[in-house]
Amino acid sequence: MHEMQVTVRFCETDALGHINNTSYFIYLEEARVKYFNTLGYSMDVKNWSFILASTKCDFLSQGYFNQILTVKTWVSRIGSKSFQLDHEIVCTQTGNLLAKGNAIIVYFDFVEQESAVIPDLLRESLKQNLIET
């Protein structure tokens, strides 16, 4: 399981004083990028192999400005051409689970403009982080 922390910035809150719903998707994107970095994939757009097919987020509890959040990321499913990452966002100070989300990532050949079979090396790396729920 991969974990990262983020501090909620003022601009990520709304008029009601809690984290705006769109901000959660930014946190999930940052967690995915950092997770890919741990697998050896950088944000080099000339050598990028993934597209986001689907993402969702369930909001469970309110978060607020200046809280420190821990975003947990793990692999929950591996297919032939895609895999699913699951996420939990927890307030580090209180332990409250604020949100749960997931993303379906497709391994993609940008030259051919089509999905491709996940290479064995990547598949093995994903299996090391697989937690079936």
| pLDDT tens-digit readout, 6-26 | 999 999 999 888 999 999 999
- Domain hosting 23: range is 2-128
Give the β-pairing of 2-7 and 82-91: unpaired
Please check whether residue 14 lies inside any domain of the structure. Answer: yes
| pTM (global) more than 0.85 | yes
Please check whether residue 133 lies inside any domain of the structure. Answer: no
Contact of 50 with 118, CB cutoff 8 Å: no
Please check whether residue 101 lies inside any domain of the structure. Answer: yes
Please check whether residue 28 lies inside any domain of the structure. Answer: yes
Q: What integer pLDDT is reported at residue 75 of this predicted model?
A: 94
Q: How many domains does the chain have?
A: 1
The CATH number linked to 13 is 3.10.129.10
Alpha helices in the chain (DSSP H): 21-38, 120-128
